[in-house]
Amino acid sequence: MSNEIKPGRYRHFKGNEYEVLFMAKNSETLEPVVVYRALYGDRGVWVRPAAMWNETVELNGEKVKRFTYLGETCSSMTKIASFCVDHNTLKKGVYVSRTDGDVVTYDVRFKVPNSGDYLPNDGIHTIEHLLATYLRNSVYSESVIYVGPMGCRTGFYVLIKKDVSKADVIELLKKAMQFISDFEGEIPGCDKSECGNYLEHSLAKAKAAAVDMLGVLKNYTPEMMEYQSR
């Protein structure tokens, strides 16, 4: 039986995930071992005999693999970081998606992915106009690079320069959500000459989403802005 374990992500039958870094040999016995890292908690590095890695174990009377291969490790791939996030466990909130030089991409997630509940097209469009208006007129206007909706209609990407602290980004987004919740009157940039689909707007739906997001951000802290490991 081959004990060759390929590097990548694995799920232990009890649910936690690990990254196999490489194989090694026990210097005393020449036994092949797997060197792997926990993808949770303190991300400790462990060693275990390769033979054990491929074993099956009993779970609720069923034989299951001790470790199930999930795929390549994201760091070894050219995928963009957010595609490597486990969308099965992503909750509503604000996350640091990636940092490029002095620009941070924030994932402002209004909806739980694949939950069947998405921002409606007219609502997300109105949020885009109001969110961009608010951020571009805020005290951080010089630091806001980009605001744009996600194609999956579960949230927005907001690019802000690193000089704005994470705590300040949370406060800024709270104020932006308040601004949208309270907004009355004509949606900015909504003229046919300024917008690519000026008839597809809903202030009511934008407000409903902003009110919901206000609740999510109420007790939000910078520590919560890290994607939870799988």
> Going residue by residue from 152 to 171, which x/- string records binding to Zn ion, judged by CB under 5 A?
--------------------
Are residues 229 and 17 in contact, defined by beta-carbon separation less than 8 angstroms?
A: yes
Residues contacting 180, CB < 8 A, separation 6+ = 127, 130, 131, 134, 206, 207, 209, 210
Helix (H/G/I), strand (E/B), else coil: 49: strand
Q: Which residue is nearest to Zn ion (CB)?
A: 195
d(CA 181, CA 210): 6
CB of 143 to Zn ion, least distance (A): 23
Stretch that binds Zn ion, among 20-28, 89-97, 144-152, 188-196 (CB under 5 A): 188-196
Choose between 57 and 195: whose C-beta lies nearer to Zn ion: 195
Among 21, 81, 195, 211, binds Zn ion (CB under 5 A): 195
Does 122 participate in binding Zn ion (rule CB under 5 A)? no
Are residues 107 and 45 in contact, defined by beta-carbon separation less than 8 angstroms?
A: no
Q: Taking the mean position of all CA atoms in its chain, how far away is CA 19? A: 19
Choose between 42 and 186: whose C-beta lies nearer to Zn ion: 186
Are residues 66 and 57 in contact, defined by beta-carbon separation less than 8 angstroms?
A: yes
Choose between 133 and 154: whose C-beta lies nearer to Zn ion: 133
Choose between 105 and 126: whose C-beta lies nearer to Zn ion: 126
Residue numbers at the binding site for Zn ion (CB under 5 A): 195
